[in-house]
């Protein structure tokens, strides 16, 4: 089976980190987010993927090679101008024969049971099935009310706060029959959430949804990206990228240097990062080559590639662009 990974958005909410890379390539526990998606797919026996790219498309090259090295078939489509979430799927129609396929929002980190979802889809003889997950504040998501058998009753993208009919939201994981692609106009921007799904509901098509209580996170904001890393460190999200998960766990990539007398708790240290004597780093992600100098303090922060926090400086709750220098 094939999975289409929708990965061409600008990642604006994750700026400045996404000025230089798409969010899909940001590391979770030192492994590019996209590779965690590959992990999930392969665990469920899906080893053909099509990456639907647009913004910074060329930066996916290494991950395409990585996917092929691990035995997956990886194809790439490109939208010169982003076509929207449904337009992106339409653009990949050439790769889909007459087979049922998966589609994913490429920024979703989850370990949900894809085979159980597929069984549900087949039992209902659905034309499309949407995975649902519960959240505290549905207003940031697509809200999907269903009836007793799981038939979708409506699709309300980002409703005003307190107006959502349910806290079950679109988890950004879909199973579709190829016929769905025939409903999407070609070569124009078209949204799955604001056009395709509401139209399917309107027409009375066999659109179903099924819930999961598995781990699920959309990594699309700094707070959620940081949380996804913390969840990998504690083991709330299970991944073999973390050898010994638990409260305060630390992962270190190659070429990391940590001086004696540092305090490190719940930290991802990217390749070539350096933490100097007496520094305190907690609940943070350091991208490649970031440096925390002597006695500096970094809490709840994401440090872009090559960032330098100078000696004695304290930062908290920051998301810093690549090559930022924070002085005293
Ligand atoms: N190829 C392509 N082209 N990809 C796109 C485009 C496009 O024009 N626009 C967005 N994407 C990609 C993004 O890069 C991301 O991987 C995915 O599509 C979803 O876009 P987001 O911008 O992250 O959407 P969202 O998080 O606000 O909302 C979506 O996800 C929620 C779950 O995380 C919606 O699908 C909601 O309904 C859903 O609840
Ligand atoms: Mg998102």
> What length does the chain have?
328
Residue 229: CB within 6 Å of ligand 1?
A: no
Please give the positions annotated as active site: 158
User: What is the per-residue pLDDT for 224?
Assistant: 98
User: What is the per-residue pLDDT for 55?
Assistant: 97
Number of Cβ within a 10 Å radius of residue 274: 18
Number of the ligand closest to the Cα of 133: 1
Tell me the mean pLDDT in the region 298-305.
98
Residue 83: CB within 6 Å of ligand 1?
A: yes
Q: Give the environment of ion ligand 2: residues with CB less than 5 A.
A: 107, 218, 220
Tell me the mean pLDDT in the region 255-274.
97
Answer whether residue 328 shows pLDDT above 80: no
Q: What is the largest CA-CA distance in the chain?
A: 65
Residue 209: CB within 6 Å of ligand 1?
A: no
Give me the percent of the chain exceeding a pLDDT of 90.
99
Pocket test of ligand 1: the residue of 3, 5, 9 to mutate, having most ligand atoms within 8 Å of its CB, is 9
The mean of the pLDDT values for the chain is 97
8 A C-beta contact, residue 87 and residue 189: yes
Tell me the mean pLDDT in the region 53-61.
97
Tell me the mean pLDDT in the region 243-266.
97
Phi, psi of 326 (to 5 degrees): -110, 115
Tell me the mean pLDDT in the region 242-268.
97
What is the rounded CA–CA span in Å between residue 318 and residue 222? Answer: 9
Closest ligand 1 atom to Cα of 169: 39
Q: Helices 33-43 and 61-69, interaxial angle, to 10°?
A: 30
Tell me the mean pLDDT in the region 11-28.
98
Using one digit for the tens of pLDDT, what is the confidence trace for 187-215?
Answer: 999 999 999 999 999 999 999 999 999 99
Using one digit for the tens of pLDDT, what is the confidence trace for 78-121?
Answer: 999 999 999 999 999 999 999 999 999 999 999 999 999 999 99
Residue reference for tokens 């662009």: 321
Domains defined along the chain, listed by start:
2-218 (3.90.550.10), 247-326 (2.160.10.10)
Phi, psi of 16 (to 5 degrees): -85, -5
Pocket test of ligand 1: the residue of 37, 53, 85 to mutate, having most ligand atoms within 8 Å of its CB, is 85
Answer whether residue 162 shows pLDDT above 80: yes
Residue 32: CB within 6 Å of ligand 1?
A: no
């Amino acid at each position: 089976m094939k999975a289409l990974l929708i990965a061409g958005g600008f990642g604006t909410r994750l700026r400045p980190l996404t000025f230089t890379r798409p969010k899909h390539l940001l590391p979770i526990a030192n492994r590019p987010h996209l590779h965690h998606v590959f992990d999930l797919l392969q665990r469920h026996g899906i080893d053909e993927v099509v990456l639907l790219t647009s913004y910074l498309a060329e930066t996916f090259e290494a991950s395409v090679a990585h996917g092929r090295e691990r035995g997956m078939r990886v194809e790439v489509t490109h939208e010169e101008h982003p076509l929207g979430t449904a337009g992106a799927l339409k653009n990949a129609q050439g790769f889909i024969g007459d087979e049922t396929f998966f589609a994913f929002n490429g920024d979703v980190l989850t370990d949900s049971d894809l085979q159980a979802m597929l069984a549900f889809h087949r039992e209902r003889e659905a034309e499309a099935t949407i995975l649902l997950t519960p959240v505290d504040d549905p207003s940031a998501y697509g809200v999907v009310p269903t009836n007793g058998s799981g038939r979708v009753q409506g699709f309300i993208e980002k409703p005003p706060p307190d107006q959502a009919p349910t806290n079950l939201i679109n988890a950004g994981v879909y199973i579709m029959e190829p016929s769905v692609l025939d409903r999407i106009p070609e070569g124009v921007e078209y949204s799955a959430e604001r056009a395709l799904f509401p139209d399917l509901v309107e027409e009375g098509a066999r659109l179903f949804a099924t819930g999961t209580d598995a781990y699920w996170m959309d990594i699309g904001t700094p707070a959620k990206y940081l949380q996804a890393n913390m969840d990998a460190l504690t083991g709330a999200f299970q991944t073999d990228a973390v050898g010994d998960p638990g409260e305060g766990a630390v992962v270190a990539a190659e070429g990391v240097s940590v001086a004696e007398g540092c305090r490190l708790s719940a930290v991802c240290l990217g390749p070539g990062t350096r933490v100097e004597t007496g520094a305190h780093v907690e609940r943070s992600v350091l991208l490649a080559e970031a440096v925390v100098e002597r006695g500096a303090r970094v809490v709840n922060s994401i440090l872009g590639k090559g960032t330098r926090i100078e000696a004695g400086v304290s930062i908290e709750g920051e998301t810093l662009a690549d090559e930022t220098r924070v002085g005293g």
